[in-house]
Structure 1
């Protein structure tokens, strides 16, 4: 695929940006930081209304049968405007797991609700800081789950979860109805992510994949979510680059715009380079869905997007000086989101290991 979007994809990007800029505002997001367990309901209502929740799912189950490229475009614009809910990514991850590995009955039961957004999904693969644990803390015995999945993004409001667990002598990817599962909300750096611990106690579960294929399936779902997250990170980095640029050409010091100083102009130019590298990696990764090198491309996108967003969040605050750290200006919203997204689908160390292992395997 070309690293340029076609006319239809550009229209998706333009329209989603217009809608989100009109409906998502800083003043709506700031109060969420001080309240645990709440998300920006207007954003999620917009996602459902616009059909973004159904974008990359099959038509047979209420989807629009588009792909990761188009959903990535939406995520990019969501990142620009700091969408106050994590469900665009988690719903997609849960739905793809069911679509790829579930039975016909499971697809009929869950996919239409996930496509409409009326059902919220979560993906619980990690155990603590380990994005893809060799020995998950949760165990599956006789179709019953026991244990705790901690710090699951979006889990506080989720109706269904995809859980990576220890089965009888083998790893298992399981489908769990969360209707009767105890959830403990977590106060976090970015409360709109609705993090929660999921407590399983003799909880009914349905196996999607077991054995050696379960770990590969879990990594594939993680990679799909990582590509969406990378688009969101790139959108946030792009927005910060533009904010820094606009401030630098209007703010004056010593009788001239601060953008005239090399220390400022070079920093903004570096941000531009990081954003464009991340954008190209995101488009490439999204276009490789279903191909043998998809996980490799996803790792590259994830790493470049994390670097772009982290750097942009830090540099934009520094370019603004003292006002950059105030509550009212809101740059800390991006700083919080950058740090949260850097960990949500696995840290940079995890994806570096994945990338090195894949490239070493190809070279061998």
Structure 2
């Protein structure tokens, strides 16, 4: 596709922005920072009501049959509005894992529930700082999972998870029903992410892929989620750029708007450049779903969006001066979200390695 959205996609973006701006407010999000295990239920109710949970899933399983491009548009607007729940991304990743690697029975059981939002999915791949560890902390033996999956985004509320585990001499990608699984809340910088440690003590699991195929599948699922997250980061960076611009045009110092000073105007111009580069990378990555270079494009989108959101969060606070760090203004909500999203689906170091490996392989 081109780097521009068509009329139908623009309508999705416009309508989702209108709905989210009407239903999400800073005052509703601030209390979540001090409440471990809570998320913004009106956002999740809206996502289900609007059909966003079904957007990129096949029609045969109650989805809408659209794709990553359209889901990215929703994620972009969610990033602008600071959606107070991670389930749109994790549910999509879980559903795609089942759609791509699951059996017909697994698809029939889980995909309609994930499409409706009745069930929430989570992805549990990481072990400590390793996004795709060679030796996961969870082991699968005789179709039973044992161990602890740590720092799982959305884990406190999820009903089903895709887990990367140690199998008999090889990695295994497993599907597990989380009913009855022990969950320990992990207080975090952004508590609305509902991060949890999942304790598996002989929990029954179903195998999706084994060996090299399991690691390849896990990377592909991470890349799909990374593109959604990159759109969310770009949306956050975009709205912060606009907030900084508007403040710089109204706040006066030494007889003129502070936007007239080069140190401020140049910084906002740089933010504009970062946002547009991230947006272009996101559109390109979403359009390459299913192509040979998809993971390369996903890594580029993830890296550019992380830089844009981190820089915008920092610079917007600085442009506001002292008021920028106050609780009531709420810029710290974006600062916290920028830092949270920067490590979900793998840090910049992880995606830099993925990008270098892919480009080196193409060069060879």
- Provide TM-score, normalisation by structure 1: 1.00
What is the aligned partner in structure 1 of residue 44 from structure 2?
44
Q: CA deviation at 1:312?
A: 0.1
What is the aligned partner in structure 1 of residue 276 from structure 2?
276
- Provide TM-score, normalisation by structure 2: 1.00
Q: CA deviation at 1:211?
A: 1.2
For the residues of structure 1 that align with 2:129 and 2:158, how far apart are their CA atoms?
21
Q: Tell me the secondary structure at the aligned position of residue 156 of structure 1.
A: coil
Uncovered stretches (5+) of structure 2, i.e. residues with no partner: none
What is the aligned partner in structure 1 of residue 211 from structure 2?
211
What is the aligned partner in structure 1 of residue 184 from structure 2?
184
After superposition, residues 22-171 of structure 1 pair within 5 angstroms as: 22-171=22-171
1:254 aligns with 2:254: yes
For the residues of structure 1 that align with 2:48 and 2:213, how far apart are their CA atoms?
33
Q: CA deviation at 1:354?
A: 0.2
Q: CA deviation at 1:180?
A: 1.1
What is the aligned partner in structure 1 of residue 356 from structure 2?
356
What is the aligned partner in structure 1 of residue 200 from structure 2?
200
Q: Tell me the secondary structure at the aligned position of residue 156 of structure 2.
A: helix
Show structure 1 runs of 4+ deviating over 2 A: none
For the residues of structure 1 that align with 2:299 and 2:96, how far apart are their CA atoms?
19
- In the TM superposition, what whole-angstrom CA distance separates every residue of 1:221-253 from its partner, at most 9, and x where no partner exists? 000000000000000000000000000000000
What is the aligned partner in structure 1 of residue 12 from structure 2?
12
1:343 aligns with 2:353: no
For the residues of structure 1 that align with 2:180 and 2:101, how far apart are their CA atoms?
24
What is the aligned partner in structure 1 of residue 319 from structure 2?
319
RMSD: 0.3
Q: CA deviation at 1:339?
A: 0.2
Uncovered stretches (5+) of structure 1, i.e. residues with no partner: none
- In the TM superposition, what whole-angstrom CA distance separates every residue of 1:178-229 from its partner, at most 9, and x where no partner exists? 0010000011000000000000000100000011100000000000000000
For the residues of structure 2 that align with 1:103 and 1:345, how far apart are their CA atoms?
25
What is the aligned partner in structure 2 of residue 303 from structure 1?
303
Q: CA deviation at 1:129?
A: 1.2
